[in-house]
Amino acid sequence: GAGVSQSPSNKVTEKGKDVELRCDPISGHTALYWYRQSLGQGLEFLIYFQGNSAPDKSGLPSDRFSAERTGGSVSTLTIQRTQQEDSAVYLCASSLRGPSGGEQFFGPGTRLTVL
Amino acid sequence: SQQGEEDPQALSIQEGENATMNCSYKTSINNLQWYRQNSGRGLVHLILIRSNEREKHSGRLRVTLDTSKKSSSLLITASRAADTASYFCATDSIYNQGGKLIFGQGTELSVKP
């Protein structure tokens, strides 16, 4: 009965490098969300997956950001050519009930630092 | 853009006192949720109130929702030092598909023993 897990917990990278962040949702949860939280700020929605439907990418800040969800389970958020403003905590959440909303279960986050 | 605005931004109280945090939002919602965050990491869901509900209780938590004013409040009664955390409201707007949440900026609560 594990919760949402994310890896790595911390990532330090140099400007211009690509990074991949991983999220393992709760088993059986069909909806998966990525959010970003900058220092002292609220959460900013990035992308949403629901089952086999096309993802809602409306929150991605630029085309350097992409995400995929393989087999309806694990998701990877990729940031290409990282910039210093990408530094933030990236949080993943999953939910049993996607389209009609409901409680979201959050992972511990990945703290990304771009030097 | 952020849907919710919370006030106060920071609140410091003594143990045993009640803490009230407010949230305002802009568009009509399916539901409004409150989350707690410790040390800037994972969020923990506290309570969900649907648009047709006006008040909900869970333990020491009481949430109210006024859809005419587009506002909600979270009351924590008999606060404890362990309640020290950041509290966020999040709205599921009727204009957003898929239940994605729009978060407020949060209230940082400090409960002093």
pLDDT digits (tens, 9 = 90+) for A59-73: 999 999 999 998 879
Q: In sequence order, which residues have a C-beta less than 8 Å from that of residue B112 and are 6 or more positions away? A: B12, B13, B14, B15, B81
Q: Specify whether the backbone of A73 is left (phi greater than 0), alpha (psi in -120 to 50) or beta.
A: alpha
Q: Provide the token pair at B30.
A: 């399916």
CB pairs under 8 A between A and B: 72
Query: Using one digit for the tens of pLDDT, what is the confidence trace for A29-87?
Result: 989 999 999 887 778 999 999 888 888 898 999 999 999 998 879 999 999 999 999 99
- Write the pLDDT tens digit of every residue in B27-69: 999 999 999 998 767 899 999 999 999 999 999 999 999 999 9
Answer whether residue B15 shows pLDDT above 90. yes
**Minimum distance, in Å, between the CA of residue A56 and any CA atom of chain B:** 8
* Residue percentage of chain A with pLDDT more than 90: 69
Residue A45: name the closest of A104, A97, A4, A2 by CA: A104
Over residues B78-85, the mean pLDDT reads 96
For B9, phi then psi, to 5°, come to -75, -30
pLDDT, position B1: 43
Q: Which long-range contacts (CB under 8 A, 24 or more apart) does A57-60 make?
A: A59/B100
Give residues with Cβ within 8 angstroms of A62, minimum separation 6: none
| CA-based nearest distance A100→chain B, Å | 6
A111 pLDDT more than 60:
yes
Residue A102: its pLDDT value, please? 76
| Closest residue on chain B to A104 (Cα) | B45
CB count, 10 Å around CB of B103?
Answer: 24
Using alpha carbons only, what angle is made at residue A40 by residues A35 and A43, rounded to the nearest 5 degrees?
A: 20
